[in-house]
Structure 1
Amino acid sequence: MVPDDRRLAANLSLLYADLPLLERPAAAAAAGFSAVELWWPWPDEPCPPRAELDALRDALTAAGTRLVGLNFYAGRLPGPDRGALSLPGRESERFRANIDVAAGFAGSLGCTGLNALYGNRLPGVDPARQDALALDNLVLAARAAHRAGADLLIEALNSAESPDYPLVTAEAAVAVAERVNAVTRLGNAKFLMDLYHLAMGGADPEDVIDRYAAAAGHVQFADCPGRGAPGTGRLDFKALVGRLRKAGYGGWVALEYRP
């Protein structure tokens, strides 16, 4: 059953992970969702064949589901990778190769948000080197997202599950978005507010909403603990969404939970 909010989306990569990729949009539509989001569905291929992109576009269109969120290439998710754009060498090169592919696909479907996962800290690599690389790649991604009519989304994860990921607070993610905007002057780098990750990290979701709703370009929800559906943990989904709306956030809220 879809909770009552007019701008609610389903994450196809978690909610329907047991189905083949091309069957997931129809399953989401059958469950009452008209909007969906996706992790990059080819974890080993930043530039898949055109036929595969076209097939996914056709499946989304045929199901009547609007794509509202898409990850840039980020390696394998869920898993240890947690992104590619700050990793020197092959992975950041794969991220750059994916930028125009992902943005072009998103733009062709009217997608409003492209999520760029930052990437883990690497042993023996100067964090400043990773941060400089990340900024360069995020600037490229923000410009591509702008051409596609979308926001670039910067997400905070949580230190319990992602101990090597440097953005584990709302403040850290918002600061990165602000640095990108200062370079591009486009204003389209925004905070991806994942209420599950923030709660797992010890933050008060209500406080995060009150402080950062204006900086948010996309919101994700799973209950905490457990990353389950609304009502399985301690987070009050209805109250939090109501607080978001009262704070002026009018964008999408995506359910990104383990069924």
Structure 2
Amino acid sequence: MRKRVKVIDVTAASKHSYTVNLSILFSELPLLERPAAAAAAGFTAAELWWPFGLDATPSQAEQDELRKAFTDAGVQLTGLNFLDDISTGVAKGTLSVPADSERFRANIPVAAGLADSLGTKALNALYGNRIEGVDPAEQDELALENLVLAAKAAHEIGAILLIEALNKPEAPAYPLVSAAAAVEVVDKVNEATGLGNAKFLCDFYHLARNGEDLVAVIDNYADRFGHVQIADNPGRNEPGTGEIDYEDLLARLTAAGYTGRIGLEYRPSTGVSADSFEWLPREHRAAK
């Protein structure tokens, strides 16, 4: 049954620029058809989780197909995950996992190269799950080493490195389950590199599921935000279907000086992605 969508005052929403996550939205379509579908819905910017499954080094032909899908649709790829292994349904990143570290390192130049070719200026590195039998301190040391490499690769193409907190109910083995934990890693990476290009990816859905005070997150960490993603809670559906007050949060983001994009990373309650954007009038969907 379709959820009732609360009407949102778009005054605050209209002040932001949006990017639609094509790994979760329009997923009823083949990947290469999604950029055109996003364009047909009025969007000019999109982002992706790692789009090649468990393959850290996809062929040039595969990358060219994806690149062509975006350029033909006239959609800018604004964000891309490094190798994340999300397609397994269990893994939440590879960079802190000893058995997967070499795969992550092999992926760094591939992801950065693909991002550079599409003018993508944000690369997201999921931290990875805790592994039974491995000392958490060892994983954290490995994570910092790999995040430093990723930050340097991002810097070389003029991009930022994003570090994200996930929610514990859905990712119980993922150690970064608070804004404070993610920001602590951000600060460590910046201290290690001296580049200052590591930023916090603030996903309000994940933080809400963890029970965080979202207003306090903005007040305390807005200066570290590199990107914001939204979905309502519970359900991870579009804004207006749950309990998060996005009118207030979007206004607070503006007041805090956040000028970055807002990533739409939700599952459509409608079952059809194109029907899930009623809360955001078409004239506000194209990137500013």
Q: Fold conserved (TM > 0.5)?
A: yes
Partner of 1:33: 43
Matched, 1:67 2:84: no
What do you get for the CA RMSD once the two structures are aligned?
Answer: 1.3
Letter in 1 for 2:210: G
- Residue 6 of structure 1, CA deviation: 4.3
Runs of 5+ consecutive residues of structure 1 not aligned to the other structure: none
Partner of 1:135: 144
Matched residues in 2 for 1:116 and 1:124: separation?
23
Matched, 1:220 2:226: no
Matched residues in 1 for 2:252 and 2:175: separation?
28
Matched, 1:161 2:170: yes
Letter in 1 for 2:32: L
- Residue 5 of structure 1, CA deviation: 4.7
Partner of 2:18: 8
Partner of 1:47: 57
- Residue 237 of structure 1, CA deviation: 2.1
Quick check: which has more Rg, 1 or 2?
A: 2
3-state SS of 2:98 partner: coil
Q: How big is each residue's C-alpha offset from its partner over 1:136-180, in whole Å with a ceiling of 9 and x where there is no partner?
A: 000000000001111000000011111110000000000101101
Matched, 1:88 2:98: yes
Q: How big is each residue's C-alpha offset from its partner over 1:27-74, in whole Å with a ceiling of 9 and x where there is no partner?
A: 011111111000001112011010111111111111111111100001
The aligned runs of 1:181-192 (5 Å cut-off) are 181-192=190-201
Maintained 8 Å contact 2:164/2:176: yes
3-state SS of 1:15 partner: coil
Matched, 1:240 2:249: yes
Matched, 1:101 2:116: no
3-state SS of 1:67 partner: strand
Partner of 1:110: 119
Letter in 1 for 2:261: W
- The answer to which of 93-102 and 3-12 deviates more is 3-12
Q: Which has the higher contact order (CA 8 A, sep 6+)?
A: 2
Matched residues in 2 for 1:79 and 1:9: separation?
24
Instruction: Among all aligned residue pairs of Structure 1 and Structure 2, give the percentage whose two residues are the same amino acid.
Output: 61
Moved over 3 A (4+): 2-6
Matched residues in 1 for 2:204 and 2:247: separation?
13
3-state SS of 1:70 partner: strand
Matched residues in 2 for 1:193 and 1:6: separation?
15
- Residue 206 of structure 1, CA deviation: 1.3
Matched residues in 2 for 1:65 and 1:78: separation?
28
Tell me the TM-score normalized by structure 2. Answer: 0.87
Matched residues in 2 for 1:220 and 1:87: separation?
25
Matched residues in 1 for 2:15 and 2:36: separation?
20
